[in-house]
């Protein structure tokens, strides 16, 4: 689930015009951005799901801090707070919310590997609805999120900007680039990279 997150960013952009697209893109990936250095340090890890070769969605992700429910709430609140201070309250609320949407989408696809508390404190059972076990459905949902998000963005961008030809062309170009980047991401994901 990478591409689905980007679709959310594009869709929200169509409603929250004042927020730059990059801030929404960063928001949807915030938890994974923090995951990367922890992965490099070996604090969080990825294993192949039992009986798989680690392809699309065939992973058990031990992101016990960044993707624990409590950890994600705190990290997304900090993210929102940063932009609330820099820009305004509304920007902070929207970006914090979009950042947390990452956890909710991950909850749908992950195989029961997301703890409630950081480091799986208390040993509660981990959560994850495991849609990755049906890769076809999971890929379809990711594609739908991407296409719907891009379509909403494209429509909003074309309807609000001045009717100058170059601005319209730019809206189409940006939408096209988002689609290509999204599909490329899925391609890499499918290739297991
Ligand atoms: Zn994630």
- In angstroms, what is the span from residue 168 Cα to ligand 1's centroid? 34
**How many angstroms separate the alpha carbon of residue 172 from the centre of ligand 1?**
29
Distance 28 CA to ligand 1 centre (A): 9
**What residues pack around ion ligand 1 (CB closer than 5 A)?**
32, 106
Band of residue 35 on the pLDDT scale cut at 50, 70, 90:
very high
Distance 67 CA to ligand 1 centre (A): 7
pLDDT of residue 164: 65
User: What is the predicted pLDDT for the residue at 153?
Assistant: 87
Q: How far is CA 113 from the centre of its chain?
A: 17
Average confidence (pLDDT) over 138-145: 91
Model pTM?
A: 0.88
Residue 159, classified by CB atoms within 10 Å of its CB into exposed (0-12), middle (13-18) or buried (19+), is exposed
Distance 75 CA to ligand 1 centre (A): 13
Q: What is the mean pLDDT of the chain?
A: 90
φ, ψ at 108 (rounded to 5°): -65, -40
Output the CA 34–ligand 1 centroid distance in Å.
10
CA 147 / ligand 1 centre spacing (Å): 20
For residue 138, the CA-to-ligand 1 centroid distance in Å is: 14
CA of residue 110 to ligand 1 center, whole Å = 9
**DSSP-based three-state secondary structure for 18:** coil
Write the pLDDT tens digit of every residue in 63-108: 999 999 999 999 999 999 999 999 999 999 999 999 999 999 999 9
Distance 102 CA to ligand 1 centre (A): 6
**1 alpha carbon – ligand 1 mean position (Å):** 7
Residue 47 β-bridge partners: 60
Residue-wise pLDDT for 117-141, tens only, equals 999 999 999 999 999 999 999 999 9
Q: HEC states along 21-52?
A: HHHHHHHHHHHHHHHHHHHHCCCCEEEECCCC
The per-residue pLDDT for 17 is 87
Q: How many CA atoms lie within 13 Å of 144's alpha carbon, on the beta-carbon side?
A: 6
Confidence of residue 181 (pLDDT cuts 50, 70, 90): confident
Q: How far is the CA of 176 from the centre of ligand 1 (A)?
A: 25
- Specify the 3-state DSSP secondary structure of 164: coil
CB neighbour list of residue 84: distance below 8 Å, 6 or more residues apart? 91, 92, 93, 96
Structure tokens at 64: 């016990």
Query: DSSP string of 58-115?
Result: -EEEE-TTTTSHHHHHHHHHHHHHHHHHHT-HHHHHHHHHHHHHHHHHHHHHSEEEE-
How many percent of the chain have pLDDT more than 90? Answer: 62
Evaluate if residue 111 carries a pLDDT over 70: yes
């Amino acid at each position: 689930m990478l591409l689905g997150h980007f679709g959310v960013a594009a869709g929200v952009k169509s409603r929250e015009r004042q927020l730059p697209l990059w801030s929404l893109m960063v928001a949807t990936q915030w938890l994974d951005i923090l995951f990367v250095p922890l992965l490099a340090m070996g604090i969080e890890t990825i294993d192949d799901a039992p009986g798989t070769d680690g392809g699309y969605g065939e992973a058990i992700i031990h992101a016990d801090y960044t993707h624990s429910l409590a950890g994600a709430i705190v990290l997304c609140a900090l993210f929102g707070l940063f932009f609330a201070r820099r820009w305004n309250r509304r920007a902070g609320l929207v970006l914090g919310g979009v950042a947390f949407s990452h956890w909710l989408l991950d909850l749908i696809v992950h195989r029961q590997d997301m703890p409630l508390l950081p480091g799986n404190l208390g040993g509660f059972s981990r959560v994850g609805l495991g849609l990755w076990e049906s890769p076809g459905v999971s890929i379809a949902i990711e594609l739908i999120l991407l296409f719907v998000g891009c379509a909403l963005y494209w429509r909003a961008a074309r309807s609000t900007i001045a009717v100058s030809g170059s601005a319209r062309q730019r809206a189409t170009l940006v939408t096209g680039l988002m689609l290509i980047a999204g599909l490329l991401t899925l391609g890499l994901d499918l290739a297991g990279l």
